[in-house]
Amino acid sequence: MKLLCILDSVEFPLAPTPAIARRAAALLAQQGHTVHFLELYDGETLPAELPGCGRTLLPFSDERVMNRVLEFGNPGGTPVPLRLLKLCAHPAAALAAVRQIAFKKPRRISAAKKAIEALDARCHFDAAVAVAAPYAGSFALASARFGGKKASWQMDPYAANRSYNAPGAFDREKQLLEALDAVFIAPAMKQYYAPGAPLERFAGKAHVLDFPSLVPPPAAPAVTGKSSRLRCVFVGSLYPELRTPHYALELFCTLNDPNLELVFVGGGWENYPADLLEPYRKILGDRLIVTGPLPAKQAAEELAKADVLLSLGNGVDNQVPSKIFEYFAAGRPVLHLAKLENDPCRPYFDRWPLALTLLESEGTGPDALARLSAFLAEKGRCRLPFEETERLFESNTPQAAARCLEETLGG
């Protein structure tokens, strides 16, 4: 099979989605298939190059600057008129904004379409898969003249993504699906293809492909200064309403165990009031540690020092953070704090023998505290070898994804 894999890291160069797909597709190259990556990137941070795979780089420095100056459209921050004024100092970025915002024709889609057509004319691919989100590559592939099968690998939903208003919503997604031969969806997205659901008509094109992000953990970095306290660590980003720290803070403050540390590694605190942590620091003192964003190496060191890993459930029922599989790979106990009764992460934690799930609706009453204390005492320093983790979550390995891509697109 000759496969074209379209990846997009323009907004977020270190996003997990392209890395996950890149790893799975590279396995196909190792098995003798021809794999070529079309990399839409920010013109600054070069994507990883993999042995045995071809690649074409398509830079979008104009969109990188546009996103930075417009502050990614986030509410708050610099007033919008001032953002637009700053944008005028960057003509290429200003033109990119006009194309995207005013004319609804982002350069990324038109440029990617041309690149797909040129590559196919030269290489005659059997299939192409565009990895989303973002969805620019998928829409470019849908409209491109292409001789092989067209597929979109949707690791995040489009119309049903509740963290933004997708342009065109389900009507636009239906247009995309009409032009595709196959779509790969995460298990939590099956609900949109069920009888009576908005995408029911396309159920025959949908193939469930779980997140293939379970890989052996890197060699543990040398850890110095490890605390004698049990260290409970969250690694990731916080978001308003979607992924919040409040329940964890309330729970650990109410428990107030002198032999327990609560550590938050990562960004997102700027989305909350500056004095949010003050009442919790009064109770926990130096047992509450907030590092803010850290370089990857330092974040790995913090994870290596963890006794228990903390997972914060999302406020939506159709997205699973790929971070949880990194937690499993580390072999650590995991405390999962779920916002929703139907949290899509719960089936994974039900399989993990070193997990405790608490619902925010349970609050910080005696029962929740007793369960938490018992879990920390019994499982807090347990470890599970990666071989056992791999057996439990085989469908989340790159090998499983490679098989699914081969069976669906190579036939």
Written as six digits, the tokens of 95 are: 């033109």
pLDDT at 391: 95
Pair of tokens at residue 332: 């650590």
Alpha-carbon distances, residue 207 vs 186, 195, 408 (angstroms) = 9, 16, 8
Are the CB atoms for 311 and 336 separated by under 8 Å? yes
310 pairs with which residues across the strands? 335
User: What's the pLDDT tens digit per position in 282-330?
Assistant: 999 999 999 988 887 888 888 888 999 999 998 888 888 888 998 999 9
The DSSP result for 20-34, as a single string, is HHHHHHHHHHHTT-E
The whole-number mean pLDDT for each consecutive block of 10 residues of the chain, a chain of 411 residues, reads: 96 88 94 96 92 95 87 79 86 87 84 97 97 94 96 92 80 95 94 95 96 84 68 90 91 95 91 90 94 85 90 86 89 95 92 96 94 95 94 94 94 67
Q: In what order do the strands lie in the sheet with 308-312?
A: 288-292, 260-265, 230-235, 308-312, 334-338, 355-359
Model pLDDT, residue 226: 59
Cα distance between residue 411 and residue 407, in whole Å: 6
Query: What whole-number distance in Å separates Cα of residue 58 and Cα of residue 64?
Result: 13
Is the CB of residue 328 less than 8 Å from the CB of residue 393?
Answer: yes
- Those residues whose C-beta lies under 8 Å from the C-beta of residue 164, and which sit 6 or more positions away, are none
Q: What are phi and psi of 3, to 5 degrees?
A: -115, 130
Res 348: pLDDT: 93
Q: Which amino acid is at 11?
A: E
What is the pTM for the complete model shown?
A: 0.86
How do strand 230-235 and strand 260-265 relate by DSSP bridges?
parallel
| CB neighbour list of residue 404: distance below 8 Å, 6 or more residues apart | 184, 207, 209
Task: Give the Cβ contact number of residue 276 at 10 Å.
Answer: 14
* Amino acid letter, 54: G
**Listed residue (67, 75, 139) closest to 96, CA to CA:** 67
Query: Please, are residues 190 and 205 in contact by the beta-carbon 8 Å criterion?
Result: no
Q: How far does Cα 170 stand from its chain's mean position?
A: 22
pLDDT of residue 221: 60
C-alpha span between 371 and 362 (Å, rounded) = 11
Residue 239 to residue 17: CA distance in whole angstroms:
18
Structure tokens at 229: 């306290």
DSSP 204: G
Half-sphere CA count of 373, side-chain side, radius 13 A? 14
pLDDT attached to residue 409? 94
Residue 330 to residue 411: CA distance in whole angstroms: 36
Biggest distance spanned by C-alpha atoms of the chain: 67
Distance of CA 254 to the CA centre of its chain: 31
**In sequence order, which residues have a C-beta less than 8 Å from that of residue 275 and are 6 or more positions away?**
none
How high is the pLDDT of residue 224? 57
